[in-house]
Amino acid sequence: MGNSFALIADAVNSIGDVMSTLVVLIALHYAQRPADEEHPYGHTRAKGIAASNVAIVIIISALYVGWEAVQRLTSQHGIPPAWTLWIAGANIVIKEVLYHYNVRIGRRTGSAVIIASAWDHRSDALCSLAVLIGLATISFGGPQFIWADEVASLIVVTAIVWSGIRLFRSSASELMDLQADPEFVDQIRSVALSVKGIENVETLWVRKSGLEYFADIHIEVDQNLTVAEGHRIGHLVKDHLLSEFTRLRDVFVHLEPFPHSHGPAENNQC
C-alpha cells in the first residue's frame, strides 16, 4: 500500500521471527516427550531439526526479497507516502520495547536464551531504523533519492540472512554433538571430583540437545575396590551431577582403574 519495498523487507524479517519462535515452541513441546523404544535418548533433538529447517526458509525468503530489491534499483516507481514514516517509526518503538522487556526478564531469570532473544529484537529495531532513514531520505530529498528505499531493504535483507545463518549454525552444531561451553564442562568436572572416592576424571563429554545436556564421564577409582563399591561410587557421581545441574538430562558414568596406565595396544575409548 505504501509502495515501499523496505517495509516489505522489514515485514519478512518480522514474519521470520514469528515463524522461528512458533516452530521452536512446538518443537520444545515435542522434545519433552519421554523416551520410548524407538527413541531411547528421548526427543530433544526435535528443536535442532526444526530450527535448522526454519533457518533455511528464512534465508531463502530473504534472498528472494533481496533479488527483487536489486531489480527495482534500476526501475522507476512511485514515491512512498509520508505516512510510511510513521509505520517505520512505530516498528522501531515496538522492537525496542521488546528488547528492554526481554533483557529485564533475562537478567532476572539468568536466562542466556532470553537475553539473546532480546538482542535479536535490538537488531530488528536497527533494521527498522534503516528503513526509516531510507524513507525519510526519499521524503525530504525527492524523486532523485528513490533508490534509498531499495538500499534500505538490502540492509534489512543482509541482517535477515546473517540471522538465518547464525540460527542454522547453532542448530546444526547441536545435531552434530558439539562439546558444551568449556566453563560448563569445567563446572561438571569440579563437582564430580568432589565426590568421595573419585581419584580423577579421565574423560568428560557434554553435548547439548534442545535445552538440555547429556554427559559422558569416565572416572578413575581405586583399582582395589570391589565391583559393587565402584558401582556405588558411579551412582553417587551421577546422582550428584543431576541434582547440581538441572540442565543435565542424563549422565553416563564409566569406571576406570586408578592408577591408570594404557598398554601399547590399548585405548581409552569404550
pLDDT score of 216: 94
What is the three-class DSSP state of 210? coil
pLDDT score of 251: 93
**Residue 144 DSSP class:** G
Instruction: Give me the helix-helix angle, 5-31 and 147-175, nearest 10°.
Output: 20
> What does pLDDT average to in each consecutive run of 10 residues of the chain (270 residues)?
83 82 76 78 75 82 84 75 88 90 79 67 84 86 81 86 83 79 92 92 87 89 92 93 90 88 48
**In the chain, which ranges are continuous DSSP H helix?**
5-31, 46-72, 83-109, 112-141, 147-175, 182-193, 227-244
Q: Which three cell numbers stand for residue 204?
A: 568428560
Cα three-residue angle 129-52-166, rounded to 5 degrees: 40
The Cα 44–Cα 169 span in angstroms is 17
CA 22, 26, 32, 36: dihedral to nearest 10 degrees?
-150
Backbone angles phi, psi at 214, to 5 degrees: -120, 135
pLDDT score of 266: 47
pLDDT score of 114: 67
pLDDT score of 215: 93
pLDDT score of 116: 66
Q: How much is the pTM?
A: 0.67
Instruction: Give me the helix-helix angle, 147-175 and 46-72, nearest 10°.
Output: 160
**Residue 195 DSSP class:** S
Number of Cβ within a 10 Å radius of residue 91: 22
